[in-house]
Structure 1
Amino acid sequence: MPFDARTFPALSPAERGDRNNPRAVALWLLAVAGLIWIMVAIGGATRLTGSGLSIMEWAPLSGTLPPLSEAEWQRLYDLYRTIPQYHLLNAGFGMEGFKRIFWLEWIHRFWGRLIGLAYLLPFLWLWWRGAIPRALMPRLWLLFFLGGLQGAIGWFMVASGFEADRTAVSPYRLVLHLSMAFLLFGLILWTALGLLRPAPERLPPEAEAARGRVRRQVQAVFWLAVATMLAGGFVAGIRAGFTYNTFPLMDGRLIPAGYLDLSPLWKNLTANIAAVQFNHRLLATLTGLAAAGAALAAWRHLPPGRLRGLVWLLAGAVAAQYALGVLTLLHVVPVGLGTLHQTVAVGVLAAGLVAWHGLRAPRT
């Protein structure tokens, strides 16, 4: 599993060396993870406002600056007026309307560049200072490569929205882009946690035997939450949240009519509005039940203290996200609630990883 301690083992003192400063490296990585968290929030707002297709060029260097002249604004507006989204949704909204959607997408791309600099420059400085444990270097270079790949995936996603008769990006590419953001956040956070707490916390003998049981329950919550988030990506991609705005029933039914209308059957998982929204609700409910079970197990088997608190924090994050999802649905996905729902999803991911990391088995 990508987050198993065998994949990212704690570093021994010999590997860290005398000049290493794992805490400084961990704090840098946590800062980068925080920037990614904000990026996910900005991405949610960009998607919900339909701003993502407003910039039709991928210019990693020259695109750093916004338009600085009226001629440049007009050139970009004329480009935007060539795509279906303009003709089908925004025809005639003028330069002011274009600027409103342009600025949010520009901020989204600028923040991605900021993340790249916030990763690369401290990385090179810490490397030069000898602060990075040698065993960690391949992992950090891999994370840098994945960050660059995420930028390319972002453009791959945006380009799909320029195709004929499209007014939004491909839901498959959207889910790929969102998945990579979650993967980067998770890998960076797990690496930082390993540097801050290289040795698992010891428990009393009577509780030590239950650690693995609670950890497995936390892992189940984590993977169910990830599945729910990916299903939520398809809800966002096909705008399934704007239909069936009742809860817990969907048009008065537990399982909506037309659940398996599409052929082949697998397309119902990604393109059928009724099925996609129902699956997201079902996975969210299973995640909530699993989180409640993990919290109960922690209360019964773990002593009061940090580890029990981490499991309860995860359960609280899942409960908050569930309630927020219901509110977002009932209010027909307003931009504010929809953005907050996507943002809190990263909080659930973080809480799951922190609890999992805290409960990892001590070395024998």
Structure 2
Amino acid sequence: MAVAASTQGMAPRSLPETRHLSAVRIWLYILATLVIAMVAVGGATRLTGSGLSITEWKPVTGAIPPLTEQAWMAEFEKYRQIPQYELVNKGMTLSEFKFIYAWEWGHRQLGRLIGLVFFVPLVFFWLRGAIRGRLALTLLGIGALGGLQGAVGWIMVASGLQPGMTAVAPIKLALHLTVASVILACLVWVAAGLRGEDPAWVKAEPRLGGFPAILVALVLVQIALGGLVAGSKAGFTYNTWPLMDGRLVPPAEVLFSVTPLVENFVDNLALVQFNHRLVAYALVAAAIWHAWSATRRAPSSRAARRAVALAGLTFGQMVLGIATLLLVVPLWAGLLHQIFAMIVLCMAVAHARVSGLAAC
């Protein structure tokens, strides 16, 4: 079933229309690349402790950074009023403040750039008739999700400005990262689906059932758990592997020491890290089994090669995560681990999407 026909409600397309859809696909992949860059800069902002340096949300005027020494001092004074300065960075110089401000400002600027790169081509393609019907509604939904992500980002920052807080709330950081990951998944899903305009290309794909979609769900769950680990700084504890404090499975009184019980899943560093480890093992095992199954079912096929590549990526990501833990989260390893998670997600989504087209 040609995805172009299903999303646009049309018969097979002429050459100019196919070229338009190819341009749309390239645009969506460019957006996906920018989202990955946004996640990377967000990770650097978090790891450098820069996320609370801008204490106001000004979607329009905030695009202009301080241009004079007086303006810099005014921004610095706002930062000196929040708990993070008093409890963590008291005595920070203006030069040091400018460094953390630059990271947060760059993160917000990249968000504005993504919005521009999304909406300007969207209007262009819409006017040219390349985007219509369900495809248009899907892209508008992704745009709305992007707007929601901006609001979630500010809610996250605001949580770190509350009395007694020196960082953002872990659950809100995890939500912010998860929404970004869902946006990335949606972009790749739509872009990969546009390959379905070529029925011969789709027909050559073997059917792999619904397991690739399960892998996507597992990757998203693991990313959300990784957000909790990052937000709670659980990666700076239990820096051994495969044991945690000398045990493969920490005792229940350690994993569930917080009351009420549900708060352990967010605030208990031992359980937060343990959950991230468990889902990593489950994801790698599932990806390896899927690669074996796809290779057995359709040897030498593109689907089998994608499944093997996905298994390799998930295993590599687990090894990188272990190294990051053992090294106590240096900046380079933490960033690489976060970026690689997005690459794994893109591969999983593209694989699931193409496999779904083949099943149509």
* Fold shared, TM-score > 0.5 on shorter chain: yes
- Structure 1: which amino acid aligns with 2:79? Y
Alignment of 1:56-75 (within 5 A): 56-75=55-74
- Counterpart in the other structure of 1:283: 279
- Counterpart in the other structure of 1:347: 343
- Counterpart in the other structure of 1:271: 267
- The whole-number CA distance in structure 2 between the counterparts of 1:128 and 1:27 is 18
* Matching residue within 230, 238, 262 for 2:232: 238
Alignment of 1:157-172 (within 5 A): 157-172=156-171
Match status 1:201 vs 2:193: no
- Counterpart in the other structure of 1:29: 28
- Counterpart in the other structure of 1:100: 99
* Matching residue within 279, 294, 304 for 1:298: 294
- Counterpart in the other structure of 2:321: 325
- The whole-number CA distance in structure 2 between the counterparts of 1:285 and 1:50 is 30
Any conservation in 2 of the 1:15–1:135 contact (CA below 8 Å)? no
Deviation of 1:353 (Å): 0.8
Deviation of 1:359 (Å): 1.5
- The whole-number CA distance in structure 1 between the counterparts of 2:147 and 2:41 is 18
More displaced 10-residue stretch of structure 1: 289-298 or 19-28: 19-28
**Measured at CA, do residues 341 and 292 of structure 1 come closer, stay the same or move farther in structure 2, by a change above 3 Å?**
same
Deviation of 1:50 (Å): 0.8
Aligned residues: 352
- Counterpart in the other structure of 2:334: 338
- Structure 2: which amino acid aligns with 1:272? N
Q: 3-state DSSP class of the match of 1:78?
A: helix
More displaced 10-residue stretch of structure 1: 220-229 or 70-79: 220-229
Deviation of 1:127 (Å): 1.5
Any conservation in 2 of the 1:19–1:131 contact (CA below 8 Å)? no
Instruction: Give runs of ≥4 in structure 1 deviating > 2 Å.
Output: 8-20, 196-204, 215-222, 361-364
- Structure 1: which amino acid aligns with 2:274? F
Q: 3-state DSSP class of the match of 1:164?
A: coil
More displaced 10-residue stretch of structure 1: 121-130 or 271-280: 121-130
Write out per-residue CA displacement over residues 124-157 of structure 1, whole angstroms, 9 at most, x where no aligned residue. Answer: 1111222223332111111111111111111111
Q: 3-state DSSP class of the match of 1:193?
A: helix
Q: 3-state DSSP class of the match of 2:284?
A: helix
Deviation of 1:358 (Å): 2.1
Any conservation in 2 of the 1:238–1:273 contact (CA below 8 Å)? yes
Any conservation in 2 of the 1:317–1:348 contact (CA below 8 Å)? yes
- The whole-number CA distance in structure 1 between the counterparts of 2:153 and 2:118 is 18
Normalised TM-score (structure 2):
0.93
Match status 1:140 vs 2:139: yes
More displaced 10-residue stretch of structure 1: 222-231 or 332-341: 222-231
- Counterpart in the other structure of 2:241: 247
Any conservation in 2 of the 1:15–1:133 contact (CA below 8 Å)? no
Match status 1:51 vs 2:47: no
- Structure 2: which amino acid aligns with 1:201? V
- The whole-number CA distance in structure 2 between the counterparts of 1:260 and 1:17 is 61
% identity of equivalent residues: 43
- The whole-number CA distance in structure 2 between the counterparts of 1:193 and 1:89 is 46
User: Where does the alignment leave 5 or more consecutive residues of structure 1 unmatched?
Assistant: none
- Structure 1: which amino acid aligns with 2:146? G
Deviation of 1:187 (Å): 0.8
- Structure 2: which amino acid aligns with 1:286? A
Deviation of 1:15 (Å): 8.4
- The whole-number CA distance in structure 2 between the counterparts of 1:147 and 1:93 is 34
Deviation of 1:291 (Å): 0.9
Normalised TM-score (structure 1):
0.92
- Structure 2: which amino acid aligns with 1:253? R
User: Where does the alignment leave 5 or more consecutive residues of structure 2 unmatched?
Assistant: none
Any conservation in 2 of the 1:261–1:268 contact (CA below 8 Å)? yes
Any conservation in 1 of the 2:193–2:354 contact (CA below 8 Å)? no
Alignment of 1:70-149 (within 5 A): 70-149=69-148
- Structure 1: which amino acid aligns with 2:132? P
- Counterpart in the other structure of 2:172: 173
Match status 1:14 vs 2:11: yes
- The whole-number CA distance in structure 2 between the counterparts of 1:46 and 1:92 is 20
- The whole-number CA distance in structure 1 between the counterparts of 2:65 and 2:25 is 33
- Structure 1: which amino acid aligns with 2:51? G
* Matching residue within 213, 222, 230 for 1:228: 222
Deviation of 1:237 (Å): 1.1
- The whole-number CA distance in structure 1 between the counterparts of 2:347 and 2:354 is 11
- Structure 2: which amino acid aligns with 1:260? F
Any conservation in 1 of the 2:38–2:111 contact (CA below 8 Å)? yes
Any conservation in 1 of the 2:294–2:307 contact (CA below 8 Å)? yes
**Measured at CA, do residues 152 and 17 of structure 1 come closer, stay the same or move farther in structure 2, by a change above 3 Å?**
farther
